[in-house]
Structure 1
Amino acid sequence: MVGSQKYQKNNNIESIYPLSPMQEGLLFHTLSDPNSGVYLEQILLTLSGQVNQETLKQSWQQVVQRHGVLRTMFVWEGRKQPLQVVRKQVDLPWSYLDWQDLSSTEQQQKLEEFLREDREKGFQLNQAPLMRCTLIRLGNQTCKLIWSVHHILVDGWCSPIIVKEVLSCYESYNQGKRCNLPPVPPYQDYILWLQQQNQEAAEEFWRQSLQGFTTPTPLVVERSQQQRRQHSSSYQEEQINLGQTTTKALQFLVREHRLTMATLLKAAWALLLSRYSGESEVLFGVGVSGRPGNLLGVEKMVGLL
């Protein structure tokens, strides 16, 4: 793999290799707008019962040690090609907060404030690890665990893998046993697989498939100049709750036609774009968990695929 003489001399370097195309995209957008926080993932877990903080911390550290991508940082300055550098050893940042004396309303307000500040804090992509954990005690039998991680390391597929491994280690350590999890393929295997693909054939395929399009179909909505300025550099999340009757009707519809709910939503979005743009053919992008079936162990791999 491509390496760097400077970093190869460091005893705490396990490996150095290029980024995947998706990682390069996230690196570009993060550096272009470092304060947006849009690629900082916050996974919240509610833990019931007596939680051993030290054992839980040890379990997370064990899982970080298992997966090289969780010990990865990125270097790009002064280079034609950015690289990811995997550390042999990192210390997972860990914080503990005790909110037991606060009311439930105060706890919720504090949590929202914490999540906002945590997102604003972000990560320095040239420092590993690009993740941290915070354990918040809400009551004698209840804790909230917040796992903050930059999206450049992992995708949504990885979250249940990592959480399951942490809980498995936690259970073993609580019983006085070692955490013996089966070996997993490193993310570097995926980068090698990418390098073996025929890039020219892939480019030709997409040029033919997208022939006639020069840009994604825009969502043409009249907005004031002030609204355009506000939305040019910020991202927002909107939640809409559907009623029980509507939800059941949608679930029946997708089962009847052997579809997924995601496919139905994409179809609705396509129709919306068509109506607003006046175009009969529309083009928009969708992120997927692209795990190639011919890559051994890919379903257990942790990384951005």
Structure 2
Amino acid sequence: MAAKPERTETRVEVDGHVLTLVNLEKVMYPRTGTTKAEVLHYYAQVAPVMLPHLADRAVTRIRWPHGTGDASFFEKNAPSGTPSWVRTVAVPTTGSRRRASGEEPEETELHFPVVDSLATLTWLVNLAALELHVHQWTVTRTGRPRHPDRLVIDLDPGEPAGLMECAQVALLVRDRLAEEGLRTVPVTSGSKGLHLYAGLDGRRTHEQVRDHAKQVAEELEASHRSLVTSQMTKARRGGKVFLDWSQNTGSKTTIAPYSLRGRDAPTVAAPRTWEEVEAGAEDVLGLEHLRYDEVLARIAEHGDLFDL
């Protein structure tokens, strides 16, 4: 039986806080050999543009303790041992269990961390949290959810449809929302599809935003039935792009812009230009998912493209 690798520790100071980084040599992406040190370096480099999009948002993490070649798990609550300097918020949530009377859902709380500094980001990534997912709403200092400040539509292709078909549908969504004065920003998800974001004024509830997104999805399905579906049933998605309007539900989260994905390769949820999406709509090779090194190079050249 092979001996268990010895734990290595490296102490660093980030934002005035001393962190113990462990096992920096561990390979997190076996296919590419990308190590934990390289993952931490990416997040440190991308933090100046990523942190503003995480500000005041409760964060759900997906952790891969042994790299993407092994098991992962979702984590919402802040884990035991969370440093006192990490901001956490108690967010009310409606549980699936019901009270003894059977009439009202049980109200519970989730204690989410909020990533408001490089130190907190580094602490989470050191726990092998490769993916950071956020709601489309922010919280007050006490954790009270505000109304959504952005709308998101997740374009999910059903095989054999791919990113090219997502790009074609993205143009339809962009033009449809533009009719209402909403400007959209595209983000290749780093997984299969493409996300479209539009900034909101915070006046509408989660339910109203969700219903609005659903209406847009149903309208585009009615006029482009061979390409678009608004139906969640996976059996109906073959060769079409599912416009997932449900991501605007108050309890749902979406991968944060600039987050890594826990895939075979270290791809990123990467903001794109509409010129790139237009090229992808014309050519199957015109739009591809980006790796973390490519994203850093784009930031150095163009700055933050996620401008709502």
The verdict on a shared fold, with TM-score over 0.5 as the criterion, is no
Larger gyration radius, structure 1 or structure 2: 1
Which is strand-richer, 1 or 2?
2
Higher relative contact order (CA 8 A, sep 6+): 1
TM-score normalized with structure 1 length: 0.24
